[in-house]
């Protein structure tokens, strides 16, 4: 149980995330795993969806705004009873009941992420905060995919987890690598 913060007590405690719906523990409930894949119409996302759909216990929901992805990548699953495709921009709030979230929605190629740097920052920051908020609300596990771009132009090879990187904060790539780095926190 979380303690309430008081003025006299400086120890800060945070509210624990909610558990998944109690319905999931009910005897009659068939324990399917509902999985959200943002950016699921893209290269990595669509292959991940193929893999997740192989498991008959999985229901997969893809949200994508088709900025760089395509419905074509998912055509074999469209109409499948365990699959749902939603055109949605992750910078807007999304309310879905899911157990897991794979957050991949972001342009990955320099041509695309430099096309509208402000939008790329919004997708990285607001989109990811929205997904973290959703995960917290519904008690879902979340995987945020990052990028080696967080190391910028690295001076150390290979980079290990402790390396801070060599990122140019005012360079043309900063809308992608700086924001991705921020979200590694
Ligand atoms: O604002 C956006 C931008 C992009 N997207 C979608 O996100 C998907 C990104 O897929 P891409 O094929 O461009 O990129 P990839 O699958 O190679 O990489 C993806 O996964 C790994 C992460 O590190 C990358 O940042 C991510 O984009 C596309 O389907 C695109 O339409 C959104 O849904 N919203």
pLDDT (tens digit, 9 = 90+) per residue, 120-149?
889 988 999 999 999 999 999 999 987 777
Find the catalytic residue in 102, 113, 151, 176.
176
> Regarding beta strands 100-103 and 33-38, do their DSSP bridges make them parallel or antiparallel, or are they unpaired?
parallel
Q: What is the pLDDT of residues 10-62, one digit of tens each?
A: 677 777 777 766 766 666 666 689 999 999 999 999 999 999 999 999 999 99
In a domain, 11, yes or no: no
Could you tell me the residue range of the domain that residue 59 belongs to? Answer: 30-145
CB 115 within 8 A of CB 107: yes
CATH for 54: 3.40.50.720
* Ligand 1 site, residue 67, Cβ cutoff 6 A: yes
From 60, 78, 175, 34, select the one nearest 118 (Cα to Cα). 175
Residue 139 CA, distance from chain mean position: 14
The total number of structural domains in the chain stands at 1
pTM of the model: 0.81
Asked if the structure places residue 124 within a domain, the reply is yes
* For ligand 1, atom 2: residue with the closest CA: 106
The reply to whether 72 falls in a domain is yes
Query: What is the whole-number distance in angstroms between the Cα of residue 10 and the centre of ligand 1?
Result: 42
């Amino acid at each position: 149980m979380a303690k309430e913060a008081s003025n006299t007590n400086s120890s800060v405690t945070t509210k624990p995330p909610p558990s998944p719906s109690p319905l999931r523990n009910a005897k009659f409930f068939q324990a399917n795993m509902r999985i959200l894949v943002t950016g699921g119409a893209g290269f990595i996302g669509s292959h991940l969806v193929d893999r997740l759909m192989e498991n008959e216990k999985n229901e997969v929901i893809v949200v994508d705004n088709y900025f760089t992805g395509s419905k074509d990548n998912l055509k074999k699953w469209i109409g499948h009873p365990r699959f749902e495709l939603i055109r949605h921009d992750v910078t807007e709030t999304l309310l879905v009941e899911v157990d897991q979230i794979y957050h991949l929605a972001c342009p990955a190629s320099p041509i695309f992420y430099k096309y509208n740097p402000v939008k790329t920052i919004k997708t990285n920051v607001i989109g990811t905060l929205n997904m973290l908020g959703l995960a917290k609300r519904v008690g879902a596990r979340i995987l945020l995919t990052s990028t080696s771009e967080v190391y910028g132009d690295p001076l150390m090879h290979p980079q290990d987890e402790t390396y801070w990187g060599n990122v140019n904060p005012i360079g043309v790539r900063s809308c992608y690598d700086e924001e991705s780095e921020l979200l590694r926190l």
